[in-house]
Amino acid sequence: MANAWRNWAGNEQAHPLRVARPADADETAAEVATAARNGQRVKAVGAGHSFSPVAVAPGIQLQLDRMNRLISVDAASGLVTVGAGMPLWQLNPLLAQHGLAMEILGDIDRQTISGAISTGTHGSSTRFGGIATQVRGLELVLADGTVTRCSPTEQPELFAAARVGLGALGIITEVTLQCVPLYALHAVDTRQPVAEVLDRSDELADAYDHFEFFWFPHSEVALTRRFTRRPADLPLTPIGALTTRLDELLNGPGFEALCRVGTRFPATVRPIARFAAKAMSAREWTDLSYRIFASSRPVRFLEGEFAIPREHAVDALREIKDWVDRHDERISFPLEVRFVARDDIWLSTAQGRENCYIAFHQYHRMPYQRYFRACQSILGAYGGRPHWGKMHDLDATALRPRYEHFDAFVALRDKLDPSGVFANPYLDRVLGPAPEAQRHTPPST
């Protein structure tokens, strides 16, 4: 079909009736108003880097790539307003030109700014929250086609919800961010016995500005990443071109080839994983923050991720390892473990508590269902909240008790979009259908 769409991982697809590329809020409002009159649903899509179907468009798909301007910059205050379709990889160098930087970033920079905040994208730090905590204002198009703004002082209830809004409250058209002066990171990657890392994980998480680690469940070795913030005007010692090229070969074509071997000959997956764990390189370098936060991920994979209270991290990881060993599961990608400060955003996975984020992956050509279900069960028993952009099968009944403001969010959604103009099957599942959705008969896909 002409309008066929697939996400980056290839596990979600859509065949929207029509694709529109609005350039601003007015054009977006016109598209939404027309769709609402025609009884059609509308979804905005960014870079397609969510593994969940949060952005799947069953009716009208809005691609926001034309809304990618740097609208205003106040270098003195650090307030920056950008179009919702601005990708992070494009935004970060532009900020650097003005002596500014994002306070924190995740390890992938392919997402748009609106997609990153709407799904609760985060980095790793017990001192900083997720990307949405940097938002100071939003411009949205509501389901009735009106354009509105919200901030801590202007419609604060909408602001509390819309920073991680799942696309359920409106189409974000502009984002105002609180940026910080440009800074560098001193990075140290170290291989350590995983038993030692688990024993010291709390200490390590608090000792550095940013700490995370990667662990192949079939190995006894973890790669720890420790980042310390430095002034941007200190001498930088970036990774050399040769090392970068070798990394690209090992993590790209080389790792892809190993994963394909494991797919064809499953018995080789465990030794391949142990080899990959030993091949993770120890190194030290200093560069501008955005060049270090983001990593290249050329090999496609599927991913789930849950946030659990930080104090349960070690027990949960040991349970996952034990399950993998008992079931002879073959896992080709590492577990990724990060720590994030609490925030006050209604549906943020970090709302009200310090979290450990445990992400589980599988190569996209290999079976994943049993492993992912086990991880979801183990992490769910600790009050785990699924990342909105990652794979899970929980519904509103399961999610409601995990979020203090769940009912308030749904009530606001019901008020702003009673007929479900911005809904799709994923939002119907995780939030419940909009109250007038029975009158709304979206075209079949």
CATH assignment of 183-395?
3.40.462.10
Tokens read off for 407? 């009912």
CATH assignment of 5-62?
3.30.43.10
Convert the pLDDT of each residue in 100-122 to its tens digit: 999 999 999 999 999 999 999 99
Q: Where are the domains of the chain?
A: 5-62, 67-181, 183-395
Is the dihedral angle over the CA atoms 405, 411, 416, 422 positive or is it negative?
positive
Tell me how far apart the alpha carbons of residues 389 and 409 are, in angstroms, rounded to a whole number: 18
Tell me how far apart the alpha carbons of residues 273 and 279 are, in angstroms, rounded to a whole number: 10
CB atoms within 10 A of CB 390: 22
Residue recorded with tokens 């198009």: 141
Tokens read off for 411? 């009530």
Torsion on CA atoms 132, 138, 142, 147, rounded to nearest 10: -170
CATH of 67-181, one of 2.60.120.260, 3.30.450.40, 3.30.465.10, 3.40.720.10: 3.30.465.10
Please say if the pLDDT value at position 1 is more than 70.
no
Strand partners, 286: 186, 237
Which of 40-54, 199-213, 235-249, 419-433 has the least mean pLDDT?
A: 235-249
Convert the pLDDT of each residue in 203-253 to its tens digit: 999 999 999 999 988 999 999 999 999 999 999 999 876 566 656 656 778
Please say if the pLDDT value at position 70 is more than 60.
yes
DSSP summary character for residue 94: H
Q: 442 falls in which pLDDT band (50, 70, 90)?
A: very low
Q: What is the 3-state secondary structure (H, E, C) of 339-406?
A: EECCECCCCCCCECCCEEEEEEEEECCCCCHHHHHHHHHHHHCCCCEECCCCCCCCCHHHHHHHCCCH
DSSP summary character for residue 163: T
pLDDT at residue 254, as a whole number: 82
Average pLDDT, the chain: 94
Convert the pLDDT of each residue in 286-311 to its tens digit: 999 999 999 888 899 999 999 999 99
DSSP summary character for residue 53: S
pTM: 0.94
